[in-house]
Amino acid sequence: MSVIAPPPRSGITADELIRPCGGANEPTKNLTTFGVGDQSEFILRPGHGSGNIIFNYFLDTTVSNDTKSYPLANVPIPQPGTYTTKIDFASAGLKSGQQIVVQAIYNGTDSGKTEEYYVCFDVKLADKAPSSASGEDHSSANNGDHSSANNGDHSSASNGGHSSETSAASSFAMQVVSLKAALGAAAAGLLVAAAAF
C-alpha cells in the first residue's frame, strides 16, 4: 500500500505486514498537525486486490500489539486505486492539543489470499490546521480516483481533488525533493573524487 499523504511513520513497504504500525512502533519526526474539527485527509493507494481500509487511533504514542485502539472509519476498497478518506477527529471525541497515532489497516484480498498491511501516522490536533507554506493546490496527488468521508455511513463520493489544507503532503514532497537533491549532489561529488584518482 502506498501512502500519498500525510507522511507515515515509516515508508518501508516491505514492513507493512508487521503489526501494529508497519514496524514503526515509536514516534517519528513525521508529525502532522490537523485541525480537530476539520475534515482531515488521508490519501492511500492500495496497489492490488480488494477489501477495506480500517482507520483506528491510539492515545499512546508508542504502540504495541497490546495498545488499545479506537475506531475512526472503515472504508471499502472495491479495486486498486487512490483513496482519500476524510476524518473528523472531533466526532471521535478528540480535542485540540492531543497527540495521537492514526493506524490504517488495509485488509486486501488478491488471488484468493488475504493479507493485512499496517501504516501509522503521528498526528497532533490543533484548533486549526496550519496553512500550506506554498499555498499550492495538491489536487494532482489524489488523481480524483476515490474519496470517502467519515460521516457514519462510510459512503463514497468523488471530490475531484483536495484542498491546500493538506500541508503535510506538501512538506513531505519537499522533503523527498530535498533528499533527492542531496543524494544527487553527494553522488556527483563521489564521481568527481573517483575521476581525480
Domains of the chain: 2-196 (2.70.50)
Confidence class of residue 189 from pLDDT cuts 50, 70 and 90? very low
Contact 27, 62 (CB under 8 A): yes
pLDDT above 90: residue 60: yes
Using the predicted structure, report yes or no on whether residue 66 has a pLDDT greater than 80.
Answer: yes
Give me the mean pLDDT over the 7-20 stretch: 93
> What does the chain come to in residues?
197
Over 90: is that where the pLDDT of 25 sits? Answer: yes
pTM of the predicted structure, to 2 decimals: 0.69
The predicted structure's pLDDT at residue 132? 61
CA–CA gap between residue 7 and residue 24 (Å, rounded): 13
Q: Is the pLDDT of residue 188 over 80?
A: no
pLDDT for the residue numbered 146: 53
Does 190 have pLDDT greater than 80? no
Model confidence band, residue 96 (pLDDT cutoffs 50, 70, 90): very high
Mean pLDDT of 82-102: 97
DSSP calls for 106-154:
EEEEETTEEEEEEEEEEEEEESSPPPPSS----GGGTTT-EEEE-SSS-
3 state SS of 193: helix
Q: What is the rounded average pLDDT for all residues in the chain?
A: 76
Mean pLDDT computed over 22-38: 94
Sign of CA dihedral 167, 169, 175, 177: negative
CA distance 127 to 75: 26
